[in-house]
Structure 1
Amino acid sequence: MSTSSNSLTTIGFDADDTLWQNEQFFRLTEAHFVELLAGHGEKDSLLARLLEAEKRNLGAYGFGIKGFTLSMIETAIDVTDGKVPGEVIGKILAAGREMLSHPVETLPHVHDTLEALASRYRLVLITKGDLFDQERKLAQSGLGDFFNAVEIVSDKSRPTYERIFARHGDGPERAMMVGNSLKSDVVPAIEAGSWGIFVPHDLTWVVEHVEPPATAPRFREIAHLGELPGLVLGIDND
């Protein structure tokens, strides 16, 4: 592990769509939702109504599949003026349960990258969403042994990273956060004083879209996780 007073000692990793696939299952379920309600609106209109419900419900339900399922039910009730058949509600609930049991598919380079970094740095998994679902996915991924700590949080903000990197590391200034969401993983980590490493994913929820902090000295973007060990080495030796 790095020992210089100014060196990087702690690396935080997002989970969904950084370590394993996630958003693709939401997109597939959205498509099924549109099919179920095809007689009550066009695709774009139904998806827009669903997104409005999801945004509106974040404060009540938080992030994750359960809140998404409740938002689908709410939208189905709204677009049918309360006349949605019980059979449709049942199919929406079944779709949500299926999402909660889908196999974990890790992304390329994940295992090798974690293995390369684990011997030199404290690795912390920092993820938001359903507690049981995130615990299930971490267990099934086989990646749990690489992490010194796991934090499943309701949201990601500057205070979140300040707290986590103080608890599990040497403060945010000697830490790095890696993830596919500029809004949740990168920008607030940089605001806390950490490095923020953006790893784009082909599918990222629109709510997570913000402009890259291109002028921030501690912002970096890599094409995939396989580039991370080299980047970390360069930063640590700078």
Structure 2
Amino acid sequence: MEVDFKEIEVIGFDADDTLWVNETYFREAEEEFAKLLSQFETPNKIDQELFKLELKNLPIYGYGVKGFVLSMVEMALELSNNTVSNDTISSILNIGKDMINKPVELLDGVEGVLEELSKKYKLIVATKGDLLDQERKLEKSGLLKYFHHIEVLSEKQEANYKKLLDHLEIKPKAFLMVGNSLKSDILPLVNLGSKAIHVPFHTTWAHEKVADSDVKNKEYLTLKRIDELLKYLN
């Protein structure tokens, strides 16, 4: 599909799984959690129930590692009928701490792309998750110097993006969003009249998946790697 980027002045980037690895660590944590609770239920059942509980808790805790850990603790209590040991709870907390302390692993080509695009466009980060955790990752990433503005959103829906664009005085037609999630990074911007480029990550959280019908007749570009951006924007 041909998409015209001539009017673009500002480019927004999602952070997790667009600039650096993130979802992989959640999958690994889920596997560790299932092993800890293996005496109470099968891994598949634990995974299903934890996912349902995470969705239920999103309005309370929001996105990110801390909310994920609280959901794991709650799930452990529920599955064990409140008999789970203190050692297991401690192990769950350590899973979360290990996730937070992971090194920031940039995806291939990211810094080169940001360095080139920052010469021509204003770049911003528009991500969601825990504010402290995202600020920490951005600092550790070494990428802060490329960005004009950082925004950590509680949700990534049309209203959130509209508020951000209005605040930064960016016209929708002059804005391009780049991200790995069709649900959070692409469709809301397309619906607002902005441009969007989808760069899929190899694994996607089930909550971020969309039906084929949701993207039918939506105008956006899909790339295999983030460095392919330079073919269209440089």
TM, length-normalised to structure 1: 0.92
Residues in 1 aligned to 2:179 and 2:118: alpha-carbon distance in whole angstroms: 17
Deviations 1:50-71 (A, max 9, x none): 0011000000000000000000
The separation in 2 between residues aligned to 1:214 and 1:20, in whole angstroms, is 28
Q: Establish whether residue 153 from structure 1 lines up as the match of residue 153 from structure 2.
A: yes
Structure 1: how far apart are the matches of 2:170 and 2:32? 46
Look up the match of 1:115. 115
Q: CA deviation at 1:165?
A: 2.3
Greater than 4 Å deviation, 4+ residue runs: none
Is the 1:124–1:168 Cα contact (8 Å) retained in structure 2?
A: no
Can you list the C-alpha shifts for 1:144-180, whole angstroms capped at 9, x where unaligned? 0000000011111112222222333531121011000
* Number of equivalent positions: 227
Q: Secondary structure at the match of 2:12?
A: strand
> Is 1:25–2:25 an aligned residue pair?
yes
Corresponding position of 2:217: 215
1:118-137 matches, within 5 Å, as 118-137=118-137
Higher relative contact order (CA 8 A, sep 6+): 2
Preserved contact between residue 159 and residue 192 of structure 1 (Cα < 8 Å):
no
- Retained in 2: the 8 A contact 1:9–1:121? yes
Task: Map 1:1-238; keep pairs closer than 5 Å.
Answer: 7-211=7-211, 213-217=215-219, 219-233=220-234
TM score, norm. by length of structure 2 = 0.94
- Contact kept, 8 Å, 2:7 with 2:173, in 1: the verdict is no
Q: Which amino acid aligns with 1:174?
A: A
* CA distance 1:16–1:141, shift in 2 (3 Å): same
Shift of 1:33: 0.3
Give 3-state SS (helix, strand or coil) of 1:71's partner: helix
**What stretches of structure 2 of length at least 5 have no aligned partner?**
1-5
1:236 paired residue number = none
CA deviations on 1:104-126 (whole Å, 9 max, x unpaired) are: 00000101111111011110101
Structure 1 stretches lacking a partner, 5+ long: 1-5, 234-238
Taking only aligned residues, the RMSD between alpha carbons, in angstroms, comes to 1.2
% identical aligned pairs: 40
